[in-house]
Amino acid sequence: MRVGVLTGGGDCPGLNAVIRAVVRKGIEVHGWDIVGFRSGWQGPLTGDCRPLGLDDVEDILTRGGTILRSSRTNPYKVEGGVDKIKSVLADQGVDALIAIGGEDTLGVAKRLTDDGIGVVGVPKTIDNDLGATDYTFGFDTAVSIATEAIDRLHTTAESHHRALVVEVMGRHAGWIALHSGLAGGASVILVPERQFSVDQVVEWVERRFEREYAPIIVVAEGALPEGGEEKLLTGEKDAFGHVRLGGIGTWLADEIAHRTGKESRAVVLGHTQRGGTPTAYDRVLASRFGLNAVDAVADGDFGVMVALRGTDIVRVKLSEATAELKTVPTERYEEAEVFFG
């Protein structure tokens, strides 16, 4: 049997751990040939691929990023895209695909399954917003990086007695903001799921200043002020219709400075949250996902995604996994508010 593997969408710590697990179990347990397709769905579209052997994955467990590279390619926006993929897979003798990605990559995987291509999905996103799985790998690393940044910012904020606004990733879901903000002792946490009042934020900030502490505000990139609009870096959209968000942190820092008279600065963590060595938790979770994805292929169980439920790895339909985003519940956010101010 010949099995292809690809990584699509934004890069994420732990991708290489999945690839390593797929290659090792695929070869050592099943005797398969493994083919790595480069640059997400661009690889199966164009035939850009490489064989993957044991030597290719020997030292990649601790590496961030992906040795197969990634892209936000949508084959359904390419004329004849599905037929091109079928032709490439036939030419390469590939019997099945393991697609590692988030909502967009797995949405394509679901449609390709419906179109007769055998695909198994592996959930990947630092945002932790994929439905049907308790956690995705990459999230723990992103939260750890953001938390460490917040820890470091506390000392410089106190030294200058200024407010610091930390902008983290999170387009539609505020899991990184919530977890890193709680772990880092933030004075305010703002998430996309709940529009915020600038007046309330200022009240929390001033309360913090009155206690002779410098406030740290953690805001997800997709958070919205009441009656406001998303802050866009550009008006351009990717192949899946997403615009680039960014700028809410700077805007909010300016508002705080204007309303309080206190110095306020913004720190945008951006792609630092995606880079570097994955945490031990993400390495283990990613490895387990890869091993179980191989099992699904061996069973001929296509159109599924491997998922974490409690401590168990289970299989769920790709249609279930991509039906809706997993967002921060109201009760989870409200329980955190006791720490604000």
What does the pLDDT profile of the chain (341 residues) look like in tens digits? 999 999 998 899 999 999 999 999 999 999 999 999 999 999 999 999 999 999 999 999 999 999 999 998 999 999 999 999 999 999 999 999 999 999 999 999 999 999 999 999 999 999 999 989 999 999 999 999 999 999 999 998 888 888 999 999 998 999 999 999 999 999 999 999 999 999 999 999 999 988 888 899 999 999 999 987 655 444 454 455 455 566 899 999 999 999 999 999 999 999 999 999 999 999 999 999 999 999 999 999 999 999 999 999 999 999 998 898 999 999 999 999 999 98
Distance CA(133)–CA(122), nearest Å, equals: 10
Q: Does 322 carry a binding-site annotation?
A: no
Distance CA(219)–CA(44), nearest Å, equals: 37
Which of these, 317, 315, 316, 321, lies nearest to 291 by C-alpha position? 315
Q: Is 127 a residue of the active site?
A: yes
Q: Does 283 carry a binding-site annotation?
A: no
CB atoms < 10 A from the CB of 162, how many? 18
Residue 52 DSSP SS3: strand
Q: Does 126 carry a binding-site annotation?
A: yes
Q: Does 127 carry a binding-site annotation?
A: yes
Which residue of the set 104, 127, 129, 282 is catalytic? Answer: 127
Token output for 163: 């407010």
pTM here is: 0.92
DSSP 166: E
CB atoms < 10 A from the CB of 53, how many? 12
